[in-house]
Chains A and B, each alone.
Chain A
């Protein structure tokens, strides 16, 4: 049996990718391509929406339809596309700066509304494209271009945030375990209604790695792998054991009514009232 590669979704003629050497975005791309093929998404019926940032360039390499939005507004655009044509599969690709920091409000409200889109966040703990400034997911004490002596604030746990906001499916994986990440993305694609959110913990060897002296790309991925705890293990563990750890797994997996379904019901109600 040959492994599914999802190559039909990749614009191979545009390679090499625009990203730096060792950037994990390419690994996430591979996971998305394979998951798309596994879950039977078609090129003609899929729209990939991105914002701005390193991960925002990802839509260039898809053979599907694509929409490149403004910074932080990828989810607003994606919700609009899905509402206008509910038969489309809409995938929004957001970074941590795009999705959790500048577009943080869009993220929680799209989750609360359960807009029927899949969101894949590449979280590399800083703003990579503009030179490694701190973002909403930069951990406390980390050195970035805008926190030369250590970051004073705590970071968001974006997956917990989206889960609390009411999303139907929330999972977190890392690029150190691409097969698990692919499984989460596949499950998100197959659910087909409600807000589905997959956070991929990524590395930024060019800025975050260099500033914090965490080594080159393979060393950073190895550290990421060692720093992860499965969610089942985490539930049984003491809070002090989990400090600074990345908890991977499915945060939420429940059946919800998506925004489209609910809105159609309201439309029906309204049309009956207006006829009277």
Chain B
């Protein structure tokens, strides 16, 4: 389990995180923007953190 914190002030809606997430955690479209819709699926691999060009995503690991 992990918690995803997206900083919407920094997000430029490029959709890279949504496209490259191996667990398809994010839902993204140009109208609604980005949402971590399936947060429960996240395994905290942090690929989105590394691929985000704007340092807008933080993945907080939860114990257990």
Residues of B within 8 A of A20 (CB): 12
Q: Is B43 close to A, CB under 8 A?
A: no
Give B15-48 interface residues, CB cut-off 8 Å to A. Answer: 15-16, 18-20, 46
User: Of B9, B16, B55, which contacts A22 at CB under 8 A?
Assistant: B16
Is the pair A15, B19 in contact by a Cβ cutoff of 8 Å?
no
Is the pair A179, B55 in contact by a Cβ cutoff of 8 Å?
no
Is the pair A27, B13 in contact by a Cβ cutoff of 8 Å?
no
B residues at A contact (CB < 8 Å): 9-10, 12-16, 18-20, 46, 50-55
Residues of B within 8 A of A179 (CB): 50
CB-based nearest B residue for A225: B20
Bound together, the chains give a CA A222 to CA B19 distance in angstroms of 9
Is the pair A218, B55 in contact by a Cβ cutoff of 8 Å?
no
List 12 additional contacts besides A20-B12, A22-B12, A219-B19; criterion CB under 8 Å: A3-B46, A15-B54, A16-B9, A16-B54, A25-B53, A26-B53, A27-B50, A27-B53, A216-B14, A216-B15, A217-B15, A221-B16
The 22 sampled A-B contact pairs (Cβ below 8 Å) are A12-B55, A15-B10, A19-B53, A20-B12, A21-B14, A22-B12, A22-B14, A22-B16, A22-B53, A24-B53, A26-B52, A26-B54, A27-B50, A27-B51, A178-B50, A217-B15, A218-B14, A218-B15, A218-B16, A218-B18, A218-B19, A222-B19
Bound together, the chains give a CA A4 to CA B19 distance in angstroms of 24
Bound together, the chains give a CA A222 to CA B18 distance in angstroms of 13
CB of A262 to closest CB in B, whole Å:
39
Bound together, the chains give a CA A276 to CA B56 distance in angstroms of 65
Q: Is A17 close to B, CB under 8 A?
A: yes
CB-based nearest A residue for B19: A218
Bound together, the chains give a CA A218 to CA B20 distance in angstroms of 8
Residues of A within 8 A of B20 (CB): 218, 221
Q: Is A23 close to B, CB under 8 A?
A: yes
A residues at B contact (CB < 8 Å): 3, 10, 12, 15-17, 19-27, 29-30, 178-179, 205, 216-219, 221-222
CB of B26 to closest CB in A, whole Å:
11
Nearest 9 CB-CB pairs, A to B? A26-B53, A218-B19, A22-B14, A21-B12, A21-B14, A217-B14, A16-B10, A178-B50, A27-B53
Is the pair B55, A15 in contact by a Cβ cutoff of 8 Å?
yes
Interface centre among A15, A19, A26, A219 (most CB of B within 10 A): A26
CB-based nearest A residue for B14: A22
Bound together, the chains give a CA A111 to CA B15 distance in angstroms of 38
Bound together, the chains give a CA A88 to CA B53 distance in angstroms of 28
Residues of A within 8 A of B15 (CB): 22, 216-218
Is the pair A10, B51 in contact by a Cβ cutoff of 8 Å?
no
Is the pair B50, A26 in contact by a Cβ cutoff of 8 Å?
no
CB of B64 to closest CB in A, whole Å:
17
CB of B51 to closest CB in A, whole Å:
6
